[in-house]
Amino acid sequence: MRILILGGTRFAGRAIVEAALGRGDSVTMFNRGQSNPGLYPGAETVLGDRTKNLSPLDNREFDAVIDVACYDPAAARLSAEAFARRTGRYVFVSTVSVYASQATTEAQLEDAPLAALKPDSTDFAENYGANKALCEQVIQEVYGDRSLIGRPGLISGPYDPTDRFPYWPRRIARGGRVLAPGDPGDLMQVIDARDLAAFLLDGLHRDRRGVYNLTGAPRPFGTLLDLCRTATYSDAEPVWISTERLVAAGVDPGMGIPLWVGEPGYEAFNDVDSSHAVGAGLACRPLTETIRDTLAWDLGRGGPETEGLDPAEEQRLLDELAG
């Protein structure tokens, strides 16, 4: 299969390229060449900016386009319309953040209402879900039932540039008393980038169409930390501090401690129903495997730790809040 991947050199895109090459597909990547150039000698790379000009791909035909990281409806329309007559399928990687409400007490299904744009807001994060929803609508308008849209939750696994999931295997492996946010029964939900990639590539090869939530099963946060302890052979001792006490101490939910939602109104973010995708073949590897692979990559990369509490701040909070 001839596949054009818009992006393809970071995290989810990287996993998709590797999965496609592993299946023997012919892969062309279109990107600016700024991240990991020359990473895949087995794939063709065409340089360009997908938000401005797709002319380097003029007259090229593909069996499918995979759009990995588009947040701009105008850019989505540019690429969708450019290839409408030159490709059979269009795959769009969206997000579970497209849903209008994250506060529902019921698991989110694919037919739930979508977020609306807040035109007066210039904050990227505030309109992130709404813009992804608009991108979806563009793809569906242009491609109809030739489109495949995946809505992943928090993506995990090796090569994670956000450092959100890697923080926990790394911190638990370090041992000692670990500040654990909220309640051990609070839900968390992730999908390994490699499982996301496998589902999307399977979807192309098996002519799968439509919209799919793509997450692993909801798990208690305490289970994640227990699995991290098991996977890293650690003696770490999670010390659970309630959300209310952390907020009162000035810790910002969603910013200071990775994977901790904290704020009210986001209860459904980690309770997304992916049964539709599971019925269509989504298979998620054991979370312990993701933990071990992520930690091995994290320890080998030698990069900066960008997420989580620094040790001094963590110790201060433990002393102040846990004694």
Q: Is the pLDDT score of 263 beyond 80?
A: no
Q: Is the pLDDT score of 265 beyond 80?
A: no
- 34-88: pLDDT as tens digits: 888 888 999 999 999 999 889 999 999 999 999 999 999 999 999 999 999 999 9
pLDDT higher for 227 or 126? 227
The token pair at 296 is 């091995």
134 and 240 housed in the same domain: no
The token pair at 34 is 């700024």
The percentage of the chain sitting over the pLDDT mark of 90, rounded to a whole number, equals: 80
- 275-320: pLDDT as tens digits: 999 999 999 999 999 999 999 999 998 777 888 999 999 999 999 9
The answer to whether residue 277 is domain-embedded is: no
127 and 178 housed in the same domain: no
Q: Please, which pLDDT band fits residue 229 given cuts at 50, 70 and 90?
A: very high
184 and 199 housed in the same domain: no
Reference 14, options 155, 212, 153, 209; nearest CA is 155
126 and 169 housed in the same domain: no
Q: Is the pLDDT score of 268 beyond 80?
A: no
Question: What pLDDT is recorded for position 226?
Answer: 98
Q: Is the pLDDT score of 269 beyond 90?
A: no
207 and 86 housed in the same domain: yes
CATH number for position 66:
3.40.50.720
119 and 171 housed in the same domain: no
Total structural domains within the chain:
2
The answer to whether residue 259 is domain-embedded is: yes
> In a 10 Å sphere around its CB, with 0-12 CB exposed, 13-18 middle and 19+ buried, how is residue 64 labelled?
buried
169 and 302 housed in the same domain: yes
- 8-38: pLDDT as tens digits: 889 999 999 999 999 999 999 999 888 888 8
Q: What is the mean pLDDT of residues 258-285?
A: 88
Q: Is the pLDDT score of 228 beyond 80?
A: yes
The answer to whether residue 271 is domain-embedded is: no
The whole-angstrom distance between residue 266's C-alpha and the CA centroid of its chain comes to 17
Q: Is the pLDDT score of 262 beyond 90?
A: no
91 and 207 housed in the same domain: yes
198 and 262 housed in the same domain: no
Question: What pLDDT is recorded for position 254?
Answer: 66
The answer to whether residue 276 is domain-embedded is: no
Q: By the 8 A CB rule, do 198 and 262 touch?
A: no
Question: What pLDDT is recorded for position 105?
Answer: 66
105 and 174 housed in the same domain: no
The answer to whether residue 71 is domain-embedded is: yes
The answer to whether residue 275 is domain-embedded is: no
Enclosing domain of residue 18:
2-157+190-214
50 and 199 housed in the same domain: yes
Q: What is the mean pLDDT of residues 79-102?
A: 95
Q: Is the pLDDT score of 110 beyond 80?
A: yes
Axis-axis angle for helices 221-232, 164-174 (nearest 10): 60
27 and 128 housed in the same domain: yes
